[in-house]
Chains A and B, each alone.
Chain A
């Protein structure tokens, strides 16, 4: 059985963001990159299935992006993926989700995967389009936002998260694609021996031009910081002083501390 998991590298979301000179995305200066949180759950789930199936399965991890994305591929290999594919693209941020999904679908089509895992969305762009778009292009069964997953007798049983605590249970035959939600599992940390082992695993590099056939459908016009709505007070400084000020505010403006 052939498994694929797709991952994206994103900046630490606690960073300060500034538009880049193109005005279409953020500047990468001073940003530290790591695996997209949702994809961490996708990798973990794919690795668990790989372990369940043993050597009857092969698990590939794929990422589209510049050379820095090799870091997340190495992490995924150290978590237990068998091989990695780096679709080398210096400017994935100038492509829309349609193009990125088409690139991945073009690669996946040649490999005939049985089951594909992606994160529910990326933390920086947040379009939540990649997974279902790949599935639609490949004609695969697909369901999204998984908080539960199992596989037995050729059937995927997925628990989807709906709104307000409700969940839905979905069954699918292969080939299929699932998108993974936060909390689906507890992603492992790669151990040192596994990090060493990962160094010997195959890493294939494919230039994006070999896979890209589609034009942008929705271009970003501008990228900017939100307008400050004002109103709220921002307090900074010495902790003791902050505590005194907040204590006074709570007493004056809220029912707390009034007894």
Chain B
């Protein structure tokens, strides 16, 4: 059956490729809306302060200003900006505008005016009297007795321990870690530090809010979560869900930063106040300072092994800085443990975490979702454990990694999967990934050969796992309708945010319906369509929405076959849909177009509408073995990645081009995390490097050679055997680079990013000891 696939598994051209290559892909801000007002924010200069008074009279008097909103005139309803299923596991600790500001840049007021310049000018005319409060500017201080309380308001709820600034807390254990460590022959303990990373989606957050002719709120918005957004906005503004219509146009990158409602609430309130369309678009400065970031963490790992290298105990302790709001607080850090810990078999496992509030920039969802932090620590730790056991790190991993048929106990213990069924690994191509990746990089030939001269070479590796959607917490619905010319309209609720999911979903539909991808017209992410979807996060779309589209297409195909059976006077059982026609074993056939016309205008009229909904308890992990070769300049400390090999078990590559693209993009972001990217915050809580000039992401000339190997260990629960691919590879570069640096120059780096300064300092320290 698989060898006969004619659309799925092929490098089908993206359905949106031409329009994007010609500049016609229509993003949120690419249309002209008559009467559009522009919104700007007044932002806090203080890291922590109470607002004593606000005088907006001058701003309101400025010609061209249409509305000014402050905490005094917007409803004060606690919500979370985290776009997750209801009820969100994040604390309800945000307000559209509040009496208190909790970090530099927190919104104090918003203005809608005829031009962006007038709006900006008006924000400067708002007079605010603040009572500055002591602030928490180091996350290690957040839980101290007497630390300033960031959420002292009584209305917020869902906070684990507001009296100690703890947004969320995790404490799970299997077996007895203390005993495991005590019985171990070798114990390795290490600490790791990871930084704020900014998504830098090229398209900023942007929303155009307006009320349509039926007085329904229309949000044209750059989002990953159209349906969650609809529900959350209805909740935060106390309007019925039916009165909110979310439209996701093309999205210029999300990476988790748009798994949040960010620009939607204020633009919606301003549209309500003015009765006019309102656009709120973040500037690049605002993206860098007041959007979301990857959570900084301080991680401690203790691992005990037997002399033969088998693991007896693994204990992970995490302190996470969530910033002033707890958006995705519990679940991101949940993944810091639940993704890396089960990768290694161990009878005793412990995962403990505190996620604390600070008056620093907001952290939130970011591709990998806590796993990059965890894998950096775990995979460097495993290299060190291997060394302590006197083993090659590759052999050590082969000895200890999770196997097909194993149960992942952590999956049921923490994070979003909490309280649910533990997942069983139905498919794993990890052994093949390790073998093929090692061969491609030349692991055995290159290890331990740093070379002479000031520039040393080294190779390092990491193995990874992720999920395919949130186990037991995903739902999708799709509809598909046949037209006169045997084309099909496919409606899905999922959000293609640049990943190519629209193309992949069209491929699935086309495959099932025996047509070409050009015959499918897709529309996604519009909440007025008869669809539903939790959205584009947790690497869910191909696996969850893909299965849903498979079901919808099969439903449509069954209807087509039944109609064909009537027309051919054959038993539907023996009919095959293929290449635009339905054929019988006896050689009779009827084209899909003939069937379509018969359905729509013939004797027994009917419209072929296939529908599918899909939910599952499964979340099969894709696997990666990543290998990196680096050059380390011992005179400057500069680290240059030379090659990255990613061997990726995707279950089934529904579209190899798209799979490779996801891996390559994730590697680039992961290399930035490893080597150059860090949102730096000054002692007062101010972001110091809010521009592409000072925040360095990899450019074309910085990139190493990328080799992507797609491994297909068919996943029985996935559409055509597929698992996910979107996030997993971002976890690999940081640990693999760190391990490669060790191979090159013998220093262990435990803190990201691994800058030249840190390398030089470590080299010096090594020399002195």
Instruction: Answer yes or no: do A and B interact.
Output: no
